């Protein structure tokens, strides 16, 4: 774990080294992913069956038809779920749906006094592909966060791909898919699932956009199919920055840091504080928590390799460091969190106050937990209904509108040497 202080000489060089830490591993698998994508493009369903047997260690019964999860299996899975878990799932889904419904934009229509009408129309994409990790890493919350915005946006077809190592499929993941409005579920994982969603096979029709988290192979596959389809983002390892003053509980700060660190060894958790005493107390509290956490090996490795505690002289310095880190998650645990948050420009999602841990946003708060990682919050945003909508602008012109602005367009077209452009307007003006 790195200990830094803005009051010490050499801070800038050490902080730059922290920013430049390599935690993304997708480049290491690019050739393997390209081979898998080519195999699916060439072999279609047969390739999916072979890759499923090879990587997930089971062979679907009935050939390609066995890759699709039937409605009867989804119903049976829901019946096996504990009622309190289904209630929790419904609470989360209801809150996520309400928040994303509030994002829906209005069409634009602007009447021009010169005789034109200008507009912009929003419309949903036709089909979305949702990737969800499977097997031991089963995340029903990711199903809700990815599928509900698509359904709220008006997407008619939502195809979900989920790997089933050794044939195992999580019941709550199926229940979440049903609750979120997923229209079809496929037992396909890894880069081959992304390839199938992007290019299509005889069984799986292609989609327009792919969203959802996955391992390095999934992330690299999304990178390689971008352009054929849209993607939400190239998700890297999880990260959190916690801003905390001397009034906070170090045990709570420590467990919030470890909540991100336990994702995987490449995750990053950083504390920024104005109190050297708090920095010391949190460091000890982290060690205490690691002694009892089931995923201590993962969380400990993340904390040791990528964790940091930074002591700043004031919150002006603290806010400036946050903007340079542009973290996926930002917790603001200070006396006046709103005021400090107002000084921060770059963060994927913020969690304000001592009673709002980031984990609350992972499940039931309502805003999306699919967020920009790896400092991309400088220019990117979390998943929303806008990821499943597209805009079409339109223009309607009367003769007087063409007469008013057409000559300027003719002049510009001629200046660019595009004679047909100029003539298509000039002929309507009676000049051609």
263 annotated as a binding-site residue: yes
Residue from 239, 262, 265, 328 carrying the catalytic annotation: 328
CA distance 180 to 147: 6
280 annotated as a binding-site residue: no
Residue from 100, 289, 329, 346 carrying the catalytic annotation: 329
Contact call for residues 384 and 103 (beta carbons, < 8 A)? yes
424 annotated as a binding-site residue: no
CA distance 286 to 223: 36
Other beta carbons less than 10 A from residue 288's beta carbon: 12
CA distance 124 to 388: 6
14 annotated as a binding-site residue: no
Buried b (16+ CB within 10 A) or exposed e, 152-172: bbebebbbbbbbbbeeebbbb
For the sheet with 329-333, list strands across it.
2-5, 308-311, 268-273, 239-244, 329-333, 349-352
Q: Examine the residue annotation and report whether 306 is marked as an active-site residue of this protein.
A: no
Give φ, ψ of 164 to 5 degrees: -130, 75
Residues β-bridged to residue 209: 128, 230
CA angle 232, 238, 243 (to 5 degrees): 115
260 annotated as a binding-site residue: yes
Q: Examine the residue annotation and report whether 369 is marked as an active-site residue of this protein.
A: no
329 annotated as a binding-site residue: yes
289 annotated as a binding-site residue: no
Task: Output the six-digit token pair for 316.
Answer: 């002006």
State whether residue 94 is helix, strand or coil. helix
Inter-axis angle of helices 171-180 and 140-153, to 10 degrees? Answer: 10
CA distance 399 to 426: 13
302 annotated as a binding-site residue: no
277 annotated as a binding-site residue: no
Q: Which residues contact 314 (CB under 8 A, 6 or more apart)?
A: 274
363 annotated as a binding-site residue: no
Residue numbers belonging to the annotated binding site for NAD(+):
131, 192, 215
By annotation, the residues acting in catalysis are: 328-329
- Annotated binding-site residue numbers for Zn(2+): 260, 263, 362, 421
- Give the residue numbers of the binding site: 131, 192, 215, 238, 260, 263, 329, 362, 416, 421
List binding-site positions for substrate. 238, 260, 263, 329, 362, 416, 421
């Amino acid at each position: 774990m790195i200990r830094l202080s803005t009051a010490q000489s050499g801070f800038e060089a050490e902080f730059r080294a922290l920013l430049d830490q390599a935690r993304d591993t997708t480049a290491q698998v690019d050739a393997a992913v390209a081979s898998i994508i080519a195999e699916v493009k060439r072999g279609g369903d047969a390739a999916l069956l072979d890759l499923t047997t090879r990587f997930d260690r089971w062979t679907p019964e009935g050939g390609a038809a066995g890759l699709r999860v039937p409605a009867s299996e989804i119903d049976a899975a829901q019946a096996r779920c504990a009622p309190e878990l289904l209630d929790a799932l419904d609470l989360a889904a209801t809150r996520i749906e309400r928040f994303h419904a509030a994002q829906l934009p209005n069409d634009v229509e602007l009447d021009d006094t010169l005789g034109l009408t200008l507009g912009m129309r929003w419309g949903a994409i036709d089909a979305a592909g949702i990737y969800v990790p499977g097997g031991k890493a089963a995340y029903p919350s990711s199903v809700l966060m990815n599928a509900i915005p698509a359904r709220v946006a008006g997407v008619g077809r939502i195809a979900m791909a989920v790997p089933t190592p050794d044939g195992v499929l999580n019941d709550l993941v199926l229940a979440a898919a049903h609750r979120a409005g997923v229209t079809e579920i496929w037992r396909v994982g890894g880069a081959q699932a992304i390839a199938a969603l992007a290019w299509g096979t005889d069984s799986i029709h292609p989609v327009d956009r792919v969203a959802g988290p996955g391992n390095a192979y999934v992330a690299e596959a999304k990178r390689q199919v971008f352009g054929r389809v849209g993607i939400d983002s190239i998700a890297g390892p999880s990260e959190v920055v916690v801003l905390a003053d001397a009034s906070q509980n170090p045990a709570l700060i420590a467990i919030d840091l470890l909540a991100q660190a336990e994702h995987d060894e490449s995750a990053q958790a950083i504390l920024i504080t104005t109190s050297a005493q708090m920095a010391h107390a949190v460091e000890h509290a982290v060690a205490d928590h690691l002694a009892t956490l089931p995923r201590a090996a993962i969380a400990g490795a993340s904390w040791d390799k990528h964790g940091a505690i930074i002591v700043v002289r004031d919150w002006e310095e603290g806010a400036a460091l946050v903007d340079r880190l542009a973290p996926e998650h930002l917790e603001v645990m200070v006396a006046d969190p709103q005021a400090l948050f107002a000084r921060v420009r770059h963060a994927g999602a913020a969690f304000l106050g001592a009673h709002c841990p980031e984990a609350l946003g992972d499940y039931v708060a309502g805003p999306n937990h699919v967020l920009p990682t790896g400092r991309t919050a400088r220019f990117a945003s979390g998943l929303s209904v806008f990821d499943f909508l597209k805009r079409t602008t339109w223009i309607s012109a009367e003769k007087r509108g063409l007469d008013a602005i057409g000559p300027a367009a003719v002049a510009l077209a001629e200046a660019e040497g595009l004679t047909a452009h100029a003539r298509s307007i000039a002929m309507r003006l009676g000049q051609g």
